[in-house]
Structure 1
């Protein structure tokens, strides 16, 4: 089945408000609560790690529930409808806190937001993996979704940086998400089809765990993604600190806009390369390219905004590959499990994927905040050279090293187009026999 652009757009739309929320949470919230509400960086770092520990329980549970939801209710659509108002409420409370809000307020509403994200994103990504099962088609579905992800991020960056101060910027983003999440969810529910369930069996908990352990492509992919996710989390979480305290360019928030616009522009290139070569090789090339460019960042000094702008443009081209290609590969890895077990557990697999994504973001970002606090880095204040050097190394050198490790893990990934086509043939033949 070839999906029309109308269906692809309808499916992709919810990614816009969810991304408009996701990026500010990891880039703007920590500096806001530290600078405007006086919460210690170490406390915020511990909080971000703590909510990821919560995800380790709730995400797999949500994936299992979504997989077992009766088809007549919509295995994936139901949960997107339920989550939209929860996302709106928790977003508003976290991003528009009262004047006396401190660590407790941040902890409660970041936890609530994390739970609502779980209810939304786990079934949503599983839906995208199932809506079209072709090897190249999955890259196309992921490309549309991640284009909306990047567009939502761009809108959030524009709203934040054109507002009168951090509080006004976060309020503008909160308004976008509170109204946009229900509207875009409705568009997807009406305009995109519920995918076919190819399950022909139900596994016990022990059987399910054994199948996961035996899925070597999944283990390899998720390990590489955790490493690469940590590499991406460090510069994302430290971006504002690097710009304002290291480059000493407090008005350079527009660099994020350039970065994400370049990522949007490069989506067709990576989709074409994935079709031409393979998804895992295209992803590896993108990571190596990003490393080659980002390796120059530690050489920068105060005022080197023009050079950093060039780096943002060049690395932006690699971002869209990091977003779209791994999730498309993950969808193929689910087929390994479906062919082996007879149960289509896309929700569970993407829940584990979500845990890995969030854990990489929070643990790497949270650990970086703790390290900066230990070495004496203070946002917005005069810092000694050792603290600034630690900031530069965490921001740029560590991500390059991590990405090289991820490339080594993925370069000889065994699941290419030919292997995947054979898997799909087995799955569809089994489903036909079960139906007969």
Structure 2
């Protein structure tokens, strides 16, 4: 491996622990607190929504703050503080010291702290990636390393907790405690690699004062990119929130959940080099559009599945997973190309993160919606049809809307999706 490639790999490493934290928080927390700790489905959904709204609102402010720290060369200390806070809060999320009526309050408190620390690290990380290379090829390579390590973290998050439970007959809390230790070690390693081995944050010393949200939104190509990005993020967030419920109560294959999720994310990793090559040849917007089309064609069939359909669902995981690389790599590259050289990037990624978090917040409302439709976790057949179509049909409709909004998108280099 060349020195340049090694520096890109050092940048990408932090993507692994950040993904190891994000996946359990967004996918496993709902079923963990309802099925393991006894919190009601509706209350869990509303707590998730409220905590995610707080997380959504604060991200633009965090972006402005990160820009100021970068200009003053104080970012490293802030990243280490955020690292320590995230390690403690993430462990506390799974090892809840309370029960009964206080459980909902603990969930809200732990989620907000996890979200805040994770946002500081993630926004700084994305902004760093937008300023570590002067050209599209370098930006795409950096994004590829970041998302490849991120997918590795997702695969670990999908399989490691289940393996810990089965290997040593641990309880769910014990297995998540062990998982939290592994996460802490990798997070510390990732921050160290970013600060001491990654390519430097280019032009930080030349950037103007942090761009305000008005400045970000006045950038017309950015403004046109945000709606399809939000709709696509929402199309990913809904099935992420409902995946384990779908596997347990529609497919009735809860013991296969690790295999399904692992297959999906491994397919995403396998497809990532293809999307990077397509982005170089066709442009990132056209390549992203093709990824959306592949996702719709394959994932819509999930709404038609029922008990025992493990192998058709496994095939869907492979094909839909291949499209995942496009969603992960290409939108951040598009945004990075649209940020003027003389403007600090973290404010843009704060706004970007706001939309992604808003999509996650709205997806939490799927739980009380399903409760209204008589679905109850663990009760096979209760609201299963509504769960299947909310999980498989709604995301495809949202992706179609994202495709429609992306049809006239122009990037800064004149690319148009047609």
Q: TM-score, normalised by structure 2?
A: 0.92
Mapped to 2, the partners of 1:51 and 1:15 lie a distance apart of: 23
Q: What are the equivalent positions in structure 2 for 1:290-369 lying under 5 Å apart?
A: 290-335=295-340, 338=341, 342=342, 344-364=343-363, 366-369=364-367
- Is residue 181 from structure 1 mapped to residue 187 from structure 2 by the alignment? yes
Residue 168 of structure 2 corresponds to none
Alpha-carbon shift at residue 53 of structure 1 (Å): 2.2
**Pick from 236, 243, 247: which aligns with 1:243?**
247
Unaligned 5+ segments in structure 2 are 166-170
Residue 26 of structure 1 corresponds to 26
Residue 285 of structure 2 corresponds to 280
Matched residue of 2:365: which SS? helix
- Is residue 267 from structure 1 mapped to residue 272 from structure 2 by the alignment? yes
Number of corresponding residues: 406
C-alpha change, 1:388 and 1:419, in structure 2 (3 Å) is closer
**Pick from 252, 255, 261: which aligns with 2:256?**
252
Contact 2:131/2:203, CA 8 A, preserved across alignment: yes
CA RMSD of aligned residues (A): 2.0
Q: TM-score, normalised by structure 1?
A: 0.88
Residue 227 of structure 2 corresponds to 223
- Is residue 110 from structure 1 mapped to residue 106 from structure 2 by the alignment? no
**Pick from 375, 392, 398: which aligns with 2:394?**
398
Alpha-carbon shift at residue 3 of structure 1 (Å): 7.8
Q: Comparing 400-409 with 53-62, which one deviates more in the overlay?
A: 53-62
- Is residue 119 from structure 1 mapped to residue 117 from structure 2 by the alignment? no
Matched residue of 1:295: which SS? helix
C-alpha change, 1:194 and 1:201, in structure 2 (3 Å) is closer
Mapped to 2, the partners of 1:404 and 1:322 lie a distance apart of: 14
Unaligned 5+ segments in structure 1 are 421-436
C-alpha change, 1:158 and 1:70, in structure 2 (3 Å) is closer
Contact 1:17/1:176, CA 8 A, preserved across alignment: no
C-alpha change, 1:419 and 1:407, in structure 2 (3 Å) is closer
Matched residue of 2:245: which SS? helix
Mapped to 2, the partners of 1:246 and 1:258 lie a distance apart of: 19
C-alpha change, 1:256 and 1:394, in structure 2 (3 Å) is same
Residue 166 of structure 1 corresponds to 172
Mapped to 2, the partners of 1:210 and 1:88 lie a distance apart of: 34
Q: Comparing 255-264 with 212-221, which one deviates more in the overlay?
A: 212-221
Q: What are the equivalent positions in structure 2 for 1:141-160 lying under 5 Å apart?
A: 141-160=142-161
